[in-house]
Amino acid sequence: AQSVTQLGSHVSVSEGALVLLRCNYSSSVPPYLFWYVQYPNQGLQLLLKYTSAATLVKGINGFEAEFKKSETSFHLTKPSAHMSDAAEYFCAVINTGGFKTIFGAGTRLFVKA
Amino acid sequence: GAGVSQSPSNKVTEKGKDVELRCDPISGHTALYWYRQSLGQGLEFLIYFQGNSAPDKSGLPSDRFSAERTGGSVSTLTIQRTQQEDSAVYLCASSPHTPTGRTYEQYFGPGTRLTVT
């Protein structure tokens, strides 16, 4: 069965430091991959998506992610953290042609001043 | 334009009562999803509607849960005889079709926080 693993339920970085949130998926074929962000008391918002085009995907708010088939990974990065980046981040996967989206358990990002 | 809206934003109910949660998707979006998000957990898929096709109910946790989508737009999630373990945030999302097919990304509403006492 399809699964998504996000390593680290909590990640803490200093303002201005690199943000790295890890996501690994299990799939027999390359799926479509997404990162969503959830701010407190809000729904999820799409950050970026991979749909079999360029392996390096740029999203909103300076985030980007790289699809690595050999590692079955889709890690999210941002060169310099901002206080406003503090939120919960979810990695998600959907098989091509499918509809059921499998979400990871989420990683809460804390940004220290 | 208007995003996905959900009502009520908060609902407190007594154990054993029935509740209805409403979702208004983005106009023109043909796909609609319901998810449950329990405290500190990821999103649990509940049900999926696509156009006039039969919904995929494979994620509904029990027969106390049901959902309808009227006229291909508004959806209602009903939980009968609520239990304390039903306490969670219920999220609705919609997804558009493009001329070349699905776009896959989902647009989420703010959720309904359900508390069963």
Contact assignment for B104 to A32 by CB distance below 8 Å:
yes
Question: Bigger pLDDT: B71 or A12?
Answer: A12
Contact assignment for B45 to A100 by CB distance below 8 Å:
yes
Q: A91 with A35: CB under 8 angstroms?
A: yes
Confidence (pLDDT) at A110: 97
Contact assignment for A34 to B105 by CB distance below 8 Å:
yes
Where residue B63 falls among pLDDT bands split at 50, 70, 90?
very high
Residue A91 tokens read as 């990695």
Within 8 A of A44 by CB-CB distance, chain B residues are 43, 91, 93, 106, 108
pLDDT at residue B22 tops 80? yes
Within 8 A of B50 by CB-CB distance, chain A residues are 99
**Phi-psi map region of A8: left, alpha, beta (phi>0 left; psi -120 to 50 alpha):** left
H or E, element range at A24 = strand A19-26
Task: Choose among B27, B28, B23: nearest CA to B48.
Answer: B23
Confidence (pLDDT) at B25: 95
Contact assignment for A104 to B42 by CB distance below 8 Å:
yes
Confidence (pLDDT) at B100: 61
Confidence (pLDDT) at B102: 64
Q: What is the mean pLDDT of residues A100-106?
A: 89
pLDDT at residue B99 tops 60? no
**Mean pLDDT of chain A, nearest integer:** 90
Q: What is the mean pLDDT of residues A8-26?
A: 95
Chain B touched by A44 (CB under 8 Å): yes
